[in-house]
């Protein structure tokens, strides 16, 4: 019994040194055991006459320690759950930030820095994807290629800073008249493109004519040109109507019709060969 008590005292001091909650239970349990030993000793000396208590107090000590261990285990489990929840929230937050950063990066990569519309890279990816989808679904796919008339003359007359401002203004005017489900891009220089999934050639011609009229009605001054105002020339093509078999051919036909509009006096829409 003495060795058992000494062993428990040693464990209690270790627990106190480590500042464990178990130390309090050990102290109380040792007190119970000491009381049981003193009572049994006095019983053996004939001083008192009571039932033996030492074994009961030892069992009570063990139960106290087990209870304390269970409480400590539950506290650690709850703490671990809280840590895991905090980690989950942190992972969700970091994932959302990463997703946002990726979206912003995509926007930067796919956007023309000057005009704010899609760039040539986005156009090339989209026309290939939309053409493939149109073939699979046997659906219409139209393309408008347009170019600012006499843009070089405007640049030479007003300077490149005003030329950049003109590109931004024209892009904004075109974007405002386009339906939401089309893809508007700066193809290069003063040339723009509009991909129209699901639009037949008649609908595409109507949209192209609306673009042309919008730019003409704006009456943007261009004293370096014969007309005196900014205009655009446009060429349209459609996959089914024009019997086109690839996105490259669709671009080529639209571009050829654009330059046909230019060669026939500019400020017009060409939609047939």
Q: Is the dihedral of CA 158, 162, 163, 166 positive or negative?
A: negative
Block residue for tokens 């370096």:
224
- Which residues have CB under 8 Å from 122's CB, separation 6+? 110, 111, 183, 185
Block residue for tokens 């931004």:
168
Closest C-alpha among 133, 132, 146, 101 to residue 261: 146
Within 10 A of 271 (CB to CB), how many other CB atoms are there? 22
User: 238 catalytic, yes or no?
Assistant: no
Residue 182's SS3 state is: coil
Q: 179 is written with which tokens?
A: 């339906």
Closest C-alpha among 54, 44, 45 to residue 1: 54
Q: Is the dihedral of CA 5, 6, 10, 11 positive or negative?
A: negative
What gap in Å lies between CA 85 and CA 87, rounded to an integer? 5
Q: Which of 150, 190, 191, 247 is catalytic?
A: 190
Report the catalytic residues: 190
């Amino acid at each position: 019994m003495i060795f058992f008590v000494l062993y428990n005292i040693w464990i209690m001091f270790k627990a106190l040194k480590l500042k464990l909650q178990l130390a309090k239970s050990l102290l109380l349990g040792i007190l119970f055991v000491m009381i049981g030993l003193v009572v049994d000793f006095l019983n053996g000396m004939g001083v008192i006459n009571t039932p033996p208590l030492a074994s009961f107090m030892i069992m009570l000590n063990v139960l106290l320690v087990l209870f304390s261990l269970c409480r400590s285990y539950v506290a650690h489990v709850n703490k671990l759950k809280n840590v895991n929840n905090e980690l989950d929230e942190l992972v969700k937050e970091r994932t959302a930030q990463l997703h946002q950063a990726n979206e912003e990066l995509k926007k930067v990569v796919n956007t023309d820095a000057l005009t704010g519309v899609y760039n040539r890279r986005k156009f090339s990816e989209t026309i290939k994807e939309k053409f493939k989808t149109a073939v699979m679904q046997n659906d219409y796919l139209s393309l408008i290629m347009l170019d600012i008339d006499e843009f070089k003359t405007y640049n030479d007359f007003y300077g490149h800073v005003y030329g950049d401002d003109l590109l931004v203004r024209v892009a904004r005017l075109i974007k405002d008249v386009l339906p939401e489900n089309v893809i508007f891009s700066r193809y290069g220089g003063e040339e723009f493109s509009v991909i129209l999934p699901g639009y037949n050639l008649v609908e595409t011609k109507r949209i192209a004519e609306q673009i042309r009229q919008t730019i003409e009605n704006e009456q943007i001054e261009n004293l370096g040109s014969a007309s005196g105002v900014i205009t655009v020339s446009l060429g349209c093509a459609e996959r089914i109507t024009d019997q086109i078999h690839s996105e490259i051919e669709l671009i080529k036909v639209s571009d050829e019709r654009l330059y046909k509009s230019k060669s026939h006096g500019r400020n017009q829409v060409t939609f047939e060969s």
